[in-house]
Chains A and B, each alone.
Chain A
């Protein structure tokens, strides 16, 4: 096992800086610049993972983001670990710890491997078919299925890393730093356009930059040297920004793109500390040039998934870029010329090429001849029918292909190998183009989907091999010609280029290669990550699935974390072949963002913890904290819920607060109520239209309660509005509804009632509201403002006074949400905390008791006052709430009026608000509990539910509000509240439980 497969010094790997890392607990070494995959291969480790369904041993198969097998778990702390990281993409750093996924107890010996031997029992749709019956067993099945589902392990603690978001605006965004991307960036920058070039690798130049091959020449020098000079020249442009390790995640409409920049994932633990891990770029670009290149396809034959089977182009990159050989006795299997480039690289590095199996009859191109001249054994018109070796490929069997390619002929010959390169041609990366809304067209010659230039949704273009140009001369020529039009250029520095490259003439493509065995005895894998085979796709077709989207979901082909980058084309090809359809007509499955997985941390950026949402605090908040308030979230507001004293429970605190408010005095911070300042000559008319009741005759200095409906007649909001001047009102809204009410009123003013002279301003934050209630509230206010005449005659209930407290202007409303004699003082917020403290000081002799929202709710429930949003849910009319009195019958129109006599809203058996008393006065109902009449008539009819429920200390019994079908007619009727372990008997009552005559308002 212990071999050093590092064969060469390359300029990309720094062999002077050795890096130690751990894989499955074992310490290994690599060099700076290595990917985890290249470092593992250098240590002769191919087996890195087990497959998802059959737990088959799997090895590194590619060298990029398309990797389906080599996905690993990163980090040693299970609470902070990072799952599903592609070993081909992560760069190693000192201290890196990676482990294999989806295996137990280890990747070498995995119990789940038994699934491989029973695989004939696990076809596509196995779970759907097997666990359907009996239906009642699902709960038991689910337990086991959940245990075997999922890749990797999710971290258990919050992500400790720092993420960032940044906006960028540019003229041209070039996606991809291969040869066509470099040319594009230079042309754009030369024209003086603000250009951003992004590439997901840590180097520029794509695959050309390590193409050490004299068959490829540009202007008489090797293509890699030429490109290197071009890259160097990019540094001269101040208007060009280059971002490495940045992968494009999504391409949305209007050229809005998201890109993830990796800042620290390649750094050691010490270096990454306290630094931003990833940055999400939100890019608006006037023009986009897609140069994302193409990825090599595998070939589909039996047992094509063994460790040691690697894409040809990846073998080449491991040698030429990383200086790592993937085996010592390598064979290649191909249907095109690009595998011969790999052969040349292998030969140059002194690695033995066992054989090249080519499904074509012959190839005339120069590069093939070059390989032939080396004396390599090329098996023309042949296919691999079987491979052997469990944890690493050991041998393969070859047979001749028939003329039509549908079967094999002749005898089998066996070849020993320790690494098999496969190449099934190239697939253009059209993901971004289709994400943006572009449509594809099919090129029959190359069996590829390419962007349809006539169906491009925004100002963008695709260049290079992602546009279907694979030959070097075409890539350069077509890119330049295309950009001349796209960027409106006349002459460029790339005109009259001399490009020499091999010319591929012979093509042959067979999506599913034949074998001497029947299909059901082979294992030709399509989707390596999700373990779906060509058999599964054919089974799905036999079972009647026709749409590719259905076949995809039924077989899970293309649904892994790699999103089928390798497998989708073959799945489509096999469907087309089997059904006799043209692939162009079949189309593709939908490409959805993100192109590669994004961590949640990157998506949310800084919007975590306290920055997730705004927290609104009243001006008196600090006092509440000092006085040990428990808080309740109401919208974005933090409101005091109750003020426990000496270790009181919530129930004890609320009972004490409620009693004190009615017996003497209570004080409430009501600052969160929405306040809208309404001014204008048509303010009264405006209120007439938005509230159900009439406002024309409200005198200056008076207050009125109003109910606001939606146009559908349902109660939307409520509150007291005060007329402070001829054309001036202050409206209060519910805490949660404030901003929506303002928006709604603005909408009507701007779009429907443009003739009205009305102006709305929110003053919720500018004014704080302190509510003092109870029989002694009048005494306290009098002490606060000695010269204010508080007599009922001068300052009656539902009226308002401008006044001054300690020389600060304030507005005092005598209004009540508790049923008690009560005042609300509105004061500029910066004085509110002072006023609150003074009120408490002055009120101390009256046992003034601060209370929170829970007591407020209890007190109003005793009076039967509704809370919109708690007792209402957008399905109740004023009449349902027994509030017919608030409908201005004589009013010509108001929002929602017409809906109040629709056939549905006048039904008598609608759900209506009622009061409830429990037969046992100590029994407190649960809010949300259902109400039924008879529990024996099954199915039991649900008549309604409890909306508010409390134990009233002032009445010494349990009270509740509920909505009940035909409730208005049911007063005195007994209903049942069925609970888990008992049935509670209740009686329907009036909604007002306390002080029905409203005597206490003037007490």
Chain B
């Protein structure tokens, strides 16, 4: 059970949050111009990395804000937390 440092509220228990899966999957601006394959890539394909993964989290039982974290899925260590729209840290 990890502790997450919500960028708006501070450090809270994991039970207050929900995970929204892989981060930085931008919704295509013009979906109608995509082929079936390209659209399927956006819609269905996820990396599910063992190791450093960029994830979306929501402070469901708190400020209800979405933000991103960088988590090592092999040991749950959180390396960075940053707001939506901010650039992800390059070096972990």
Contact for B36 among A457, A747, A903, CB less than 8 A: A903
Given contacts A750-B84, A902-B40, A903-B36, contact A254 B31 (CB under 8 A): no
A253-B76, A751-B66 given; A712·B43 CB < 8 A = yes
Does A754 sit at the interface, judged by CB under 8 A? yes
* Stretch in A768-776, A799-807, A891-899, A973-981 touching the partner: A891-899
Rounded to whole angstroms, the CA-CA distance of A897 and B34 in the bound complex is: 12
Inter-chain CA distance A892–B40, complex, in Å, is 19
Q: How far is the CA of A743 from the CA of B28 in the complex (A)?
A: 21
Are B2 and A457 touching (Cβ within 8 A)?
no
Q: From B31, which residue of chain A is reached at the shortest CB distance? A: A898
Is A736 interfacial (CB-CB < 8 Å)?
no
Smallest CB separation, A556 vs chain B (Å): 31
Q: Could you tell me the distance between the alpha carbons of A893 and B30 in the complex, rounded to whole angstroms? A: 8
Interface residues on A, range: 20 to 34
B48 at the interface (CB under 8 A from A): no
Q: Mark B1-15, 1 if CB is under 8 A from A, else 0.
A: 111000000000100
Is A746 among interface residues, defined by CB-CB distance under 8 A? yes
**With A254-B3, A898-B39, A899-B43 as given contacts, are A750 and B31 in contact (CB-CB < 8 Å)?**
no
Q: Are B31 and A902 in contact (CB under 8 A)?
A: no
A477 contacts the other chain (CB 8 A): no
Q: Within 8 Å of chain A (Cβ to Cβ): is B58?
A: yes
Q: Which of these, A457, A711, A747, A897, contacts B66 with CB under 8 Å?
A: A747
The answer to whether A254 and B76 have CB atoms under 8 Å apart is yes
A254 and B2 in contact (CB under 8 A), knowing A711-B43, A750-B66, A754-B84?
A: yes
Q: How far is the CB of A173 from chain B (nearest CB, A)?
A: 15
Distance (whole angstroms) from the CB of B51 to the closest CB of chain A: 15
Does A256 sit at the interface, judged by CB under 8 A?
A: yes
A437 at interface by CB-CB < 8 Å: yes
B30: chain A residues at CB < 8 Å are 893
**Interface assignment of A252: CB less than 8 Å from any CB of chain B:** yes
Once the chains bind, are B20 and A902 in contact (CB under 8 Å)?
no
Question: Which residues of chain A have C-beta atoms less than 8 A from B58's C-beta?
Answer: 743, 747
**Which residues of A sit under 8 angstroms from B31, Cβ to Cβ?**
893, 897-898
Chain B residues with Cβ below 8 Å from A284 are 3, 13
Q: Do residues B27 and A752 form an inter-chain contact, with CB atoms below 8 A?
A: yes
Query: B56 — which chain A residues lie within 8 A by C-beta?
Result: 751
B39 contact set on A, CB distance < 8 A:
898-899, 902
Q: Mark A703-727, 1 if CB is under 8 A from B, else 0.
A: 0000000011000000000000000
B27 touches A252 (CB 8 A): no
- Nearest-CB distance from A330 to chain B (Å)? 48
CA distance A394 to B22 in the complex (A): 67
**Contacts A712-B43, A897-B31; A437 near B36 (Cβ below 8 A):** no
* B75 CB contacts on chain A under 8 angstroms: 253, 437, 457
CB distance from B13 to the nearest CB of A (A): 8
CB proximity of B65 to chain A, nearest CB, Å: 7
Interface residue from A711, A746, A903 paired with B64 (Cβ < 8 Å): A746
A750, B1: Cβ atoms closer than 8 Å: no
A249-282 interface (Cβ within 8 A of B) = 252-254, 256
**Bound Cα distance from A898 to B64, whole angstroms:** 29
Residues of chain A within 8 A of B36, CB atoms compared: 902-903
**Taking CB as reference atom, which chain B residue is nearest A892?**
B32
Which B residue's beta carbon lies closest to that of A742? B64
Question: Within A748-786, which residues are at the interface with B (CB < 8 Å)?
Answer: 750-752, 754
Judge whether A253 and B43 touch: CB under 8 Å: no
Which chain A residue has the least Cβ–Cβ distance from B18? A743
- Residues on B with C-beta less than 8 A from A898 are 28, 31-32, 34, 39
B71-91: which residues lie under 8 A (CB-CB) from chain A?
A: 75-76, 84-85
Give A85 to B56 CA distance when docked, in angstroms.
Answer: 45
For A746, what are the chain B residues with a Cβ–Cβ distance below 8 Å? Answer: 64, 66
- Closest chain A residue, CB of each to CB of B76: A253
Which residues of chain A from 729 to 755 have a CB within 8 Å of any chain B CB? 743, 746-747, 750-752, 754
Q: Note all chain A residues with C-beta closer than 8 A to B60.
A: 743
- Inter-chain CA distance A750–B32, complex, in Å, is 23
CA distance A284 to B34 in the complex (A): 49
With A and B bound together, what is the CA distance between A457 and B20 in angstroms? 25
Q: How far is the CB of A456 from chain B (nearest CB, A)?
A: 11
Contact A252 B1 (CB under 8 A): yes
Chain B residues near A752 (CB, 8 Å)? 26-27
Taking a contact as CB atoms under 8 Å apart, the answer to whether A893 and B32 are in contact is yes
Q: Which residues of B contact A712 (CB under 8 A)?
A: 43
A446–B32 Cα distance when bound, in Å, is 68
* Residues of chain B with a CB closer than 8 A to A256's CB: 1-2
User: When chains A and B are docked, how far (Å) is the Cα of A746 from the Cα of B66?
Assistant: 9
Chain B positions within 8 Å of A892 at CB level: 32
Residues in A whose Cβ lies below 8 Å from that of B2? 253-254, 256
Contact with B along A879-913 (1 / 0, CB 8 A): 00000000000001100011100110000000000
How many Å from the CB of A644 to the closest CB on chain B? 39
Within 8 A of A (CB), among B8-64: 13, 20, 26-28, 30-32, 34, 36, 39-40, 43, 56, 58, 60, 64
Q: How far is the CA of A902 from the CA of B39 in the complex (A)?
A: 9
Whether the Cβ atoms of B65 and A254 lie closer than 8 Å is no
- Give the Cβ gap from B1 to chain A, nearest Cβ, in Å: 4
- Whether the Cβ atoms of A254 and B1 lie closer than 8 Å is yes
Between A254, A457, A746, the greatest number of chain B beta carbons within 10 A of the residue's beta carbon is seen for A254
**Most B-side CB within 10 Å, residue of A892, A898, A899:** A898
A743–B84 CA distance with the chains assembled, in angstroms: 16
Closest to A258 in B: B1
Within the complex, the shortest CB–CB distance from A730 to chain B, in Å, comes to 20
Chain B residues with CB below 8 A from A754, complex form:
84-85
Q: How far is the CA of A892 from the CA of B32 in the complex (A)?
A: 8
Give the residues in chain A near B13, CB-CB below 8 Å.
Answer: 284
Chain B residues whose C-beta falls within 8 Å of the C-beta of A893 in the assembled complex: 30-32
| Least distance between A288 CB and chain B CB atoms (Å) | 14
Residues of B close to A902: CB separation below 8 A: 36, 39-40
**Nearest-neighbor residue (CB-CB) of A903 within chain B:** B36
A457 CA to B64 CA in the complex, in Å? 30
Question: Roughly how many angstroms separate A557 CA and B39 CA in the complex, as a whole number?
Answer: 51
- Chain B residue with the shortest CB-CB distance to A256: B1
Q: Which residue of B lies closest to A891 (CB)?
A: B32
Report the separation of the CA atoms of residues A903 and B64 in the bound assembly, to the nearest whole angstrom. Answer: 37
Q: Which residue of A lies closest to B60 (CB)?
A: A743
Which residues does chain A contribute within 8 Å of B40, judged by CB atoms? 902
Q: Which residues of B contact A899 (CB under 8 A)?
A: 39, 43
* B53 shortest CB reach to chain A, Å: 16
Residues of B within 8 A of A903 (CB): 36
Interface string of A686-713 (1 = CB under 8 A from B): 0000000000000000000000000110
Q: Which of A451-491 contact B (CB under 8 A)?
A: 457
User: Which of A252, A253, A457, A750 has a CB less than 8 Å from the CB of B65?
Assistant: A750
Pick the contact of B84 from A254, A751, A897 — CB < 8 Å?
A751
The CA-CA distance from A747 to B57 in the complex, in Å, is 10
Tell me the smallest distance from the CB of B19 to a CB of chain A, in Å.
Answer: 12
Chain A proximity of B62: nearest CB distance (Å): 13
> How many Å lie between the Cα of A747 and that of B64 in the bound state?
9
Q: Which residues from chain B contact A254 at a C-beta distance below 8 Å?
A: 1-3, 76
Question: A289 to nearest B CB, angstroms?
Answer: 20
Q: A743–B40 Cα gap in the complex (Å)?
A: 24
A894 to chain B, nearest CB (A): 10
Please, how many angstroms separate the alpha-carbon atoms of A903 and B76 in the complex? Answer: 39
Q: Which of A253, A711, A747 is the one whose CB lies under 8 Å from B1?
A: A253
Q: Which residues of B contact A897 (CB under 8 A)?
A: 31-32
Top 9 closest A-B pairs, CB basis? Answer: A898-B31, A256-B1, A750-B66, A254-B2, A752-B27, A253-B76, A252-B1, A898-B39, A254-B3
Binding site for B on A (CB under 8 A): 252-254, 256, 284, 437, 457, 711-712, 743, 746-747, 750-752, 754, 892-893, 897-899, 902-903
Interchain residue pairs with CB less than 8 A apart (8): A256-B2, A284-B3, A711-B27, A747-B58, A751-B84, A752-B26, A893-B31, A902-B36
Known: A284-B13, A751-B84, A752-B26. 6 other contacts (CB 8 A): A253-B75, A711-B27, A711-B43, A746-B64, A893-B32, A898-B31
